[in-house]
Chains A and B, each alone.
Chain A
Amino acid sequence: QSALTQPASVSGSPGQSITISCTGTSSDVGIYNLVSWYQQHPGKAPKLLIYEVNKRPSGVSNRFSGSKSGNTASLTISGLQAEDEADYHCCSYATTNTLLFGGGTKLTVL
């Protein structure tokens, strides 16, 4: 099983919107609505941002949203803020009863 594919880095200016993609296959992202996204600041543990493709846990800003089309899931952050600068990881459940993570994307707020 290969890891999910994410861009290594993305950037945006404060106030702008950015989108991070997460591409899998028909054995994981494409077949299950079980994609989650995590935010990780340097030296910290990951934090859940999105689960089941597009649901936000209590306390997570509505500036974060998730979606999916075919084998690709996406995380959109609107109204970029300096505090959004972090690494973002996607994760999907897969047909082999396993979890797959992406390689992570570093977001730089210019």
Chain B
Amino acid sequence: EVQLVQSGAEGKKSGESLKISCKASGYTFTTYWIAWVRQMPGKGLEWMGSIYPGDSDTRSSPSFQGQVTISADKSISTAYVQWTSLKGSDTAMYYCARSSDSSGHEVDQWGQGTLVTVSS
């Protein structure tokens, strides 16, 4: 069974750094893209970017490029997204999702989400 288990909720202050994780199991981690998706309170889904753990190739949304770093550690089947300086507008639920195949064109399995709350 494919599972994506995300790290727990985080409460941070503006300017702090943060790295959240997504641990995969039940499939070959290196042969499917992992996407990160933001959902701000009461809003729709926004694709942030994706990583192919096999070679760490990444694709990024222009809206998030330079704002976050997406990475993966294939030795522990875990993907990450990190911020160096959080802002209040980063308050959101963040989901990781696995692509349906090696192309990365669609996602099928989702993690449970990580709630990030940033206060001033």
The reply to whether B106 and A34 contact each other, CB–CB distance below 8 Å, is yes
How many positions in chain A have a CB within 8 Å of any CB in the partner chain?
Answer: 25
Chain B residue numbers with a CB within 8 Å of A103 are 43-44
B67: shortest Cβ distance to chain A, in Å?
A: 15
Is B46 part of the contact surface with A, judged by Cβ < 8 Å?
yes
Cα-based distance from A34 to B109 in the complex (angstroms) = 16
5 A-B pairs with least C-beta separation:
A104-B44, A99-B47, A103-B44, A93-B105, A101-B45
Chain A residue numbers with a CB within 8 Å of B45 are 38, 46, 89, 91, 101, 104
The reply to whether A104 and B112 contact each other, CB–CB distance below 8 Å, is no
Is B61 part of the contact surface with A, judged by Cβ < 8 Å?
yes
Number of interchain pairs (Cβ within 8 Å): 61
The reply to whether A93 and B59 contact each other, CB–CB distance below 8 Å, is no
Name the contact of B113 in the complex, choosing from A45, A51, A99, A104 (C-beta under 8 A).
A45
Name the contact of A51 in the complex, choosing from B43, B106, B112 (C-beta under 8 A).
B106
B12: shortest Cβ distance to chain A, in Å?
A: 22
Is B68 part of the contact surface with A, judged by Cβ < 8 Å?
no
Name the contact of B108 in the complex, choosing from A6, A57, A89, A99 (C-beta under 8 A).
A57
Chain B residue numbers with a CB within 8 Å of A45 are 95, 110-113
Interface on chain B toward A: helix, strand, loop, or mixed SS? strand
Taken residue by residue from 92 to 105, chain A's Cβ proximity to chain B (1 for < 8 Å, 0 otherwise) reads as: 01000111111110
Chain A residue numbers with a CB within 8 Å of B109 are 48
Closest to B61 in A: A98
Taken residue by residue from 13 to 36, chain B's Cβ proximity to chain A (1 for < 8 Å, 0 otherwise) reads as: 000000000000000000000010
Chain A residue numbers with a CB within 8 Å of B35 are 99
Cα-based distance from A36 to B101 in the complex (angstroms) = 14
Is A18 part of the contact surface with B, judged by Cβ < 8 Å?
no
A44: shortest Cβ distance to chain B, in Å?
A: 8
A41: shortest Cβ distance to chain B, in Å?
A: 13
Is B41 part of the contact surface with A, judged by Cβ < 8 Å?
no
Cα-based distance from A97 to B37 in the complex (angstroms) = 15
The reply to whether B106 and A47 contact each other, CB–CB distance below 8 Å, is no
Cα-based distance from A103 to B61 in the complex (angstroms) = 16
Is A3 part of the contact surface with B, judged by Cβ < 8 Å?
yes
A50: shortest Cβ distance to chain B, in Å?
A: 10
